[in-house]
């Protein structure tokens, strides 16, 4: 049972490792940062929209309060005028309406005060969020620039490493080529010696070329013996300057006969 658990844990570890590597290849941190920044900007826009909506509602209540305040003042004037004209009933009705209006104004004042507090809170949140978004944007661009520079450095290092490997491969290829050339030269020299000795048959040579080659070797040896005897005769007493004559013709006389 323990072996099964151990194998299962090991498989989970391998799976997590491979998954993490795959995610690293698929996920570009620059895109992730841009997405996060876009989300924060959207949240900031929502807060600003909420601030605008609350401000609009507060303005609407403020206008309504001003209208109710004007009516309140008008009812007071009407009550005084009615009482001056002896219409106490009208004055009482105006004062009753004014009293009712006071209750409505009181409720409106509470709403207005609440909206003022909400507006102040939202404006403070908007200010803080604006600062956070601005700071995040600067940090985001810094991280992106650093990542891009590091990525370029990695590519440059990989390129240099690839060049080094290529140079190493080229050096190995040159060494192998030199060995092959040396082997081929040695083989060519060996086959030349074998052809010269007759051990190999030169299929491109003329018929009886081997006999001609041997006769030429005998003639060359005989010519050497003749020249040797001529030199010995020239060194004998009474011999007349044969060596001097042999050199009188210069280099054009070499090999043209005579000692």
pLDDT single digits (tens) 108-165: 999 989 988 988 998 898 999 999 999 989 988 998 888 888 888 888 887 777 665 6
The answer to whether the predicted template modeling score (pTM) of the entire model surpasses 0.95 is no
10 Å Cβ neighbour count for 115?
19
The 10s digit of each residue's pLDDT in 81-92 is 988 998 999 989
What distance separates the 2 farthest-apart alpha carbons in the chain?
190
Mean pLDDT across the stretch 41-62? 90
pLDDT at 244: 44
The overall average pLDDT reported for the chain is 78
User: Quick check: 28 pLDDT over 50?
Assistant: yes
Residue identified by tokens 């491979």 is 18
Cα separation of 174 and 182, whole Å?
12
User: Quick check: 257 pLDDT over 70?
Assistant: no
Burial string for 65-103 (b: 16+ CB within 10 Å, else e) reads beebeeebeebeebbeebeeeeeeeebeebbeebeeeee
Closest by Cα among 47, 43, 60 to 124: 47
Do residues 72 and 101 touch, judged by C-beta distance below 8 A? Answer: yes
The 10s digit of each residue's pLDDT in 162-191 is 665 666 666 677 777 777 777 877 777 777
Residues 6 or more apart in contact with residue 65 via CB below 8 angstroms: 105, 108, 109, 112
The domains of the chain, with CATH numbers, are 18-166 (1.10.287)
The 10s digit of each residue's pLDDT in 187-241 is 777 776 766 665 555 555 566 666 777 777 788 888 888 888 888 887 666 555 4
10 Å Cβ neighbour count for 61?
19
């Amino acid at each position: 049972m323990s072996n099964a658990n151990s194998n299962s844990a090991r498989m989970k570890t391998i799976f997590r490792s491979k998954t993490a590597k795959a995610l690293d290849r698929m996920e570009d941190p620059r895109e992730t940062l841009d997405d996060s920044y876009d989300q924060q900007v959207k949240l900031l826009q929502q807060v600003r929209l909420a601030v605008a909506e609350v401000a609009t509602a507060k303005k609407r209540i403020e206008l309504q309060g001003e209208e109710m305040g004007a009516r309140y003042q008008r009812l007071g004037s009407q009550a005084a005028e009615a009482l001056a004209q002896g219409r106490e009933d009208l004055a009482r009705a105006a004062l009753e309406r004014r009293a009712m209006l006071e209750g409505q104004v009181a409720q409106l004042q509470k709403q207005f005060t609440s909206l003022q507090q909400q507006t102040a809170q939202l404006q403070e949140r908007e200010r803080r969020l604006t600062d956070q978004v601005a700071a995040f944007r600067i940090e985001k661009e810094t991280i992106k620039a650093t990542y891009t520079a590091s990525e370029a450095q990695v590519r440059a290092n990989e390129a240099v490493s690839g060049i080094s490997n290529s140079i190493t491969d080229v050096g190995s290829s040159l060494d192998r080529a030199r060995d092959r050339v040396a082997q081929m030269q040695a083989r060519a020299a060996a086959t030349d010696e074998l052809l010269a000795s007759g051990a190999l048959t030169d299929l491109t040579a003329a018929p009886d070329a081997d006999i001609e080659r041997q006769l030429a070797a005998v003639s060359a040896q005989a010519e050497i013996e003749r020249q040797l005897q001529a030199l010995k005769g020239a060194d004998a007493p009474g011999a007349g300057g044969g060596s001097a004559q042999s050199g009188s013709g210069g280099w054009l006389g070499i090999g043209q006969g005579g000692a």
